[in-house]
Amino acid sequence: MSEPKAPTPAPGDTYKGWLFKWTNYIKGYQRRWFVLSNGLLSYYRTQAEMGHTCRGTINLATANIAVEDSCNFVISNGGTQTYHLKASSEVERQRWITALELAKAKAFRMQAESDDSGDDSTPPAAGQGAGSRNSEVQSTLRTLGSKVEDLSTCNDLIAKHGSALQRSLSELEGVRLGGETSEKIRQVTERATLFRITSNAMINACRDFLALAQTHSKRWQKALQAEREQRVRLEETLEQLAKQHNHLERAFRGATVLPASQSNPAIDSKGPVSGKGDASDEDEENEFFDACEDVQEFITVPADPKYHRRSGSNVSGISSELGMDDGTTSLDEQSLASNPESPQSQELVPVRKRRTRIPDKPNYSLNLWSIMKNCIGKELSKIPMPVNFNEPLSMLQRLSEDLEYYELLDRAAKCQSSLEQMCYVAAFTVSSYSTTVHRTGKPFNPLLGETFELDRVQESGYRSLCEQVSHHPPAAAHHAISERGWTLRQEIALASKFRGKYLSIMPLGSIHCIFEKSTNHYTWKKVTTTVHNIIVGKLWIDQSGEIDVVNHKTGDRCHLKFAPYSYFSRDVARKVTGVVTDKDGKAHYVLSGTWDEKMEYSRVMQSSRGGENGADGRQKTVYQTLKAKELWRKTPLPEGAENMYYFSTLALTLNELEEGVAPTDSRRRPDQRLMEQGRWEEANAEKQRLEEKQRTVRREREREANRAASPSEEAEEVEIASEPSETTYKTETLHGSHPPAYSMEGPYGAPVKSGHQDNYKSMWFEQLVDPVTGEPTHIYKGGYWEAKEQGNWDSCPDIF
């Protein structure tokens, strides 16, 4: 159940394992994970809590250890802390008692030594820090040397006295005495022989230790010297970087113009930015990475170590060290460096300054139960809701928020390994939920044909377009493409039910991510979102379910599990775990974290069966991993976010007015704009007007569809056959006013006839059968960005 680990460099050994701790008379003994290290005994609910939550610690230097029976024992430090513990067996209890007694003795000895040395020592001056540390190391080495000499002396004494004892007993055996006396002498002789054997074993162990210490002492001294030299080089490098940074800052503030021979002619006309300054920035990066050559990066799979030293969190750390606070990221600079002919590398394009605040949310009271009591069991999209329950964003804009952490896909596009790339894609799927933890407001249901564009080519290298392609059931299509080699597309339909105490929202449809360089094609689905305490209490949101991220090219897979929140669970709230496997099912990485804060990854070195039994009775797989590294962390919310619907920095900019967008864009929606401005009564009236207008337009489309259907077609089944390589549709009669419904037969990628009663066709997306998943989905057919460049929106309907 527990197994000791190898000793750490700190004084005292480390011992870990499970014990049962008495909690109270209701719960009795509860299983806890105990860690004995450096004279301290700490415990946790689970092994996963070791990194962040310690439930209690007791200092063994002043503690009393008492054994009650074969399995129980008590640890107390005089009344303030008392642990009643129980082991699984008597052997296990004895192991713990031995480890605790040894740790107590060492802790007591360390405390006494520190008290003695504290009276005589004086703190070193600030200017003598390096010298004092050096003298401390030398003093430690001298102490160890004296201890080794004492050990050698003890060795000689044991050998001398052991031989004398053996001789005396041999002489005593030669004396002729009675039979009883001879028997006693024989027993003493046997015991002396056992003592000699034991002493020899100890002597041999001491001799081995001495030989090993002498053999490795020079190597340890060389390693220590190398670490000192490495530290000195790092300090010199940081000092040089600070000086260069100050020099660049002064040059920028003074707008110093360098000679033409040292400047970039393409930039001279734009401003006082020199090509030599860019080169020095790159030199600084190279120097920093050379100094940190031994630091392990996020993923250690690839072939090019220099490439991986320039990836991951270290790059962003270096950017902050160099003072890159102008809004650009290190990934931007890498893409520019790899493509010197790109327009961004030839000229400086001014980046638009986005807004950072919206009007504060007004405090209007509303009786929720009076509205919701007649809506139990109904579809959420069919419930008339006032804007009091909304946030001033549409569902299309919330869908675009999935790109909040697009940098994860930028990094994934640069990966050489598909398994490494899978880690970033999996982190991206989790990051899309981080903005929902406090967002209890309902987004506006988009009108049919409503669109939303998010053009961030200048700032972030991507642009995206969303369109509401269906109203019943509500479905939105999304397409995003990046200059850094990735494309994201999805069609999400929402199935939602109000259950009285909570609201469940089940997204339907697949999300696709395609990388241009590797042609890897990933798909996954979203988990269920639940809004709790609809009637009484404070609203809170939870995500639960499982996600399978699949690479259809290589067969790699990442299974993510979103654990539902439980008051009685011992795990961390909002926990997410996952395992990245190849096509053969072999695990390579383990992901862990929370969907509202961060995700970490660990490289799997070995896996085996034999852990605790799961809920189904089968044994869990135990993964032996390297130390966890951070893969993604949530960006803190802006100041005052609690008064602005808990919007993130990106969400604050989504409803900002922009020139040139389509007339169907969500930014032009009047009820949403009025709500953002705090004019909620006007927004409610405008919302009712828009909904009634949409119903009228839909009824008109249905009448036109019915008039287009001939009477003869309503009385018989018509089969429309085309060429063998094309799609064949079957038209079946539906009695009443309903239009024909179509079933699709044909190869993947063929168009699918609309099944909507009004035969509505979206403006910028076309419904096709996806060649990878085989599901009907809306895929961007082009034309939007070209229409924006021309300023021609004549084909757009008037929906507002």
Over the stretch 4-18, which tens digit does the pLDDT of each residue have?
443 333 334 688 899
Q: Enter the tokens of residue 740.
A: 């024909």
pLDDT bin (cut points 50, 70, 90) of residue 132 is low
pLDDT bin (cut points 50, 70, 90) of residue 131 is low
In eight-state DSSP terms, residue 709 is: S
Over the stretch 163-222, which tens digit does the pLDDT of each residue have?
777 777 777 766 666 666 777 777 777 777 767 777 777 777 777 777 777 767 777 788
Over the stretch 329-383, which tens digit does the pLDDT of each residue have?
333 333 333 343 333 334 455 678 899 999 999 887 666 665 666 566 665 555 6
**Upstream peptide bond of 473 is cis (omega within 30 degrees of 0):** yes
Least confident of 19-33, 272-286, 365-379, 489-503: 272-286
Q: Enter the tokens of residue 642.
A: 């609690």
Percent of residues, the chain, with pLDDT higher than 90: 34
Least confident of 261-270, 579-588, 711-720, 755-764: 261-270
Least confident of 306-315, 423-432, 436-445, 539-548: 306-315
**N-to-C CA span, the chain:** 67
pLDDT bin (cut points 50, 70, 90) of residue 285 is very low
- Unique residue bearing structure tokens 């020079």: 218
Task: Look at residues 477, 492, 454, 457 and name the one whose alpha carbon lies nearest to residue 654.
Answer: 454
- In the predicted structure, residue 722 carries a pLDDT above the cut 90: no
Average pLDDT taken over every residue of the chain: 75
Range among 120-124, 329-333, 452-456 with highest mean pLDDT value: 452-456
pLDDT bin (cut points 50, 70, 90) of residue 55 is confident
pLDDT bin (cut points 50, 70, 90) of residue 527 is very high
Total-model pTM: 0.55
- In the predicted structure, residue 434 carries a pLDDT above the cut 90: yes
Task: Look at residues 591, 597, 496, 504 and name the one whose alpha carbon lies nearest to residue 547.
Answer: 591
* pLDDT top residue among 421 and 116: 421
Q: What is the structure's pLDDT at 520?
A: 95
**Average pLDDT estimate for 430-437:** 92
**Average pLDDT estimate for 621-645:** 91
Over the stretch 250-260, which tens digit does the pLDDT of each residue have?
777 765 444 44
Over the stretch 30-54, which tens digit does the pLDDT of each residue have?
999 999 988 889 999 888 888 778 8
Q: What is the structure's pLDDT at 180?
A: 66
**Average pLDDT estimate for 543-557:** 95
Q: What is the structure's pLDDT at 757?
A: 52
- In the predicted structure, residue 624 carries a pLDDT above the cut 60: yes
In eight-state DSSP terms, residue 354 is: P
Residues in the chain, total = 800
Secondary structure of 307-346 in HEC code, one letter for each residue = HHHCCCHHHHHHHHHCCCCCCCCHHHHHHHHHCCCCHHHH
Strands 390-394, 442-444: parallel, antiparallel or unpaired by DSSP? Answer: parallel
Angle, CA of 275, 276 and 277, to the nearest 5°: 90
* pLDDT top residue among 712 and 534: 534
- In the predicted structure, residue 306 carries a pLDDT above the cut 50: no
